[in-house]
């Protein structure tokens, strides 16, 4: 089993707009999340958010405790959200087994000491996409199926942003300290996500793009509304979005993405919307 840990410092918008393409990719893009029998973790100093991936194939993979966290175990002062984007797999958390199928989620509360990941079939492994935020209180661990999600349908085919938002780990479904996660599925023929774009000063966010068809890509937009930048992203990659940045994308095909966020409030609707005609 291998653990890869990367740390990304926080940047102001003035610093961010000075970066060239490679500089933006180095600071904000997570290119590799899934590798056989390995854990890839990236710590962003925006709200000390961690995003990553676990793909158990031949082994049961333990959630390691990177030295950078200065903790006795990973979830000593953190909470964890997990969404399976692969085949069926299992998570054992302090002796309790949770089976997760495709697009099912699991919340693990602060204080969970031992977490392990395994796949039901090594030939079709599970892929566990994970997000973690600092936590001040212990809330119960809970599995959330797609049927238990809060579902919102937005947009239209006419504006190429007809999409279904599945709120999986949010305070209207289960209690958390600050972590929120959900999944947005774009309908066939729609390519724009989160449009009109917005910022939220009290939360940062991470987007993970998947179900991007082979040979297709997603162009992710970020930066201040009047100073936007873009990153071309491939299937199963993630991108950090600072609280001062918009977070939106357009694909060369429809796709699905997982949004995860953390900060000082749990109000999903706390957004500063940006008029489409005012973006620069």
Give the pLDDT of residue 50: 98
Give the pLDDT of residue 188: 96
Give the pLDDT of residue 273: 86
Check whether the bond before 196 is cis (ω within 30° of 0): yes
Give the closest residue to 253 by CA, choosing from 151, 153, 185.
185
Dist. CA 10–CA 44, nearest whole Å: 7
Give the pLDDT of residue 244: 95
Question: Is the pLDDT at 267 greater than 80, yes or no?
Answer: no
Token pair belonging to 201: 């000063």
Of residues 44 and 271, which shows the higher confidence score? 44
Dist. CA 38–CA 54, nearest whole Å: 6
Give the pLDDT of residue 272: 83
The mean pLDDT of 38-52, rounded to a whole number, is 97
CATH no. for 2-278: 2.60.120.10
When computed from its CA atoms, the radius of gyration of the chain, rounded to whole angstroms, is 18
Dist. CA 147–CA 270, nearest whole Å: 25
Q: For residue 28, what is the enclosing H or E element?
A: helix 21-28
Give the pLDDT of residue 201: 83
The mean pLDDT of 121-129, rounded to a whole number, is 98
Burial class (CB in 10 A: 0-12, 13-18, 19+), 255: buried
Give the pLDDT of residue 18: 95
Give the closest residue to 178 by CA, choosing from 200, 204, 152.
204
Whether the CB-CB separation of 31 and 51 falls below 8 Å is answered with no
Q: Tally Cβ neighbours within 10 Å of residue 97.
A: 10
Beta bridge partners of 91: 98, 117
User: Kind of pairing, strands 2-8 and 38-44?
Assistant: parallel
Question: Is the pLDDT at 106 greater than 90, yes or no?
Answer: yes
Give the pLDDT of residue 270: 80
**Per-residue model confidence as pLDDT tens digits over 181-237:** 999 999 999 999 998 898 888 889 999 999 999 999 999 999 999 999 999 999 999
Percent of the residues in the chain that have a pLDDT greater than 70, as a whole number: 100
Whether the CB-CB separation of 134 and 77 falls below 8 Å is answered with yes
Distances (CA, A) of 179 to 188, 217, 265: 30, 28, 10
Dist. CA 128–CA 90, nearest whole Å: 10
Token pair belonging to 13: 């918008």
Burial class (CB in 10 A: 0-12, 13-18, 19+), 226: exposed
Give the pLDDT of residue 177: 97
Band of the pLDDT at 170, cuts 50, 70, 90? very high
Beta bridge partners of 81: 107, 131
Whether the CB-CB separation of 238 and 43 falls below 8 Å is answered with no
């Amino acid at each position: 089993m291998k653990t890869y840990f990367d740390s990304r410092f926080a940047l102001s918008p003035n610093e961010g707009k000075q970066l060239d393409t490679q500089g933006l990719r180095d600071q904000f893009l997570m290119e590799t999340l899934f590798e056989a029998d390995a854990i890839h973790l990236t710590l962003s100093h925006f709200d000390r958010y961690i995003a990553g991936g676990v793909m158990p194939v031949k082994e049961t993979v333990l959630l390691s405790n990177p030295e950078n966290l200065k903790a006795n175990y990973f979830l000593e002062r953190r909470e964890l959200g997990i969404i399976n984007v692969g085949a069926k797999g299992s998570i054992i958390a302090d002796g309790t087994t949770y089976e997760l199928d495709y697009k099912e989620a699991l919340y693990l509360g602060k204080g969970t000491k031992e977490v392990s990941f395994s796949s039901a079939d090594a030939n079709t492994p599970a892929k566990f996409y994970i997000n973690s935020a600092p936590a001040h209180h212990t809330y119960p661990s809970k599995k959330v199926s797609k049927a238990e999600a809060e579902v919102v349908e937005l947009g239209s085919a006419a504006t190429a942003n007809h999409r279904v938002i599945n709120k999986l780990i949010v305070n209207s479904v289960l209690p958390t300290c600050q972590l929120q996660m959900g999944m947005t599925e774009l309908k066939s023929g729609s390519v724009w996500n989160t449009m009109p774009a917005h910022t939220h000063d009290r939360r940062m966010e991470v987007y993970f793009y998947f179900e991007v068809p082979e040979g297709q890509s997603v162009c992710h937009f970020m930066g201040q509304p009047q100073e936007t930048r873009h990153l071309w992203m491939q299937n199963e990659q993630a991108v950090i979005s600072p609280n001062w940045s918009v977070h939106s994308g357009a694909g060369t095909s429809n796709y699905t993405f997982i949004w995860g966020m953390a900060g000082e409030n749990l109000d999903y609707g706390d957004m500063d919307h940006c008029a489409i005609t005012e973006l620069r």
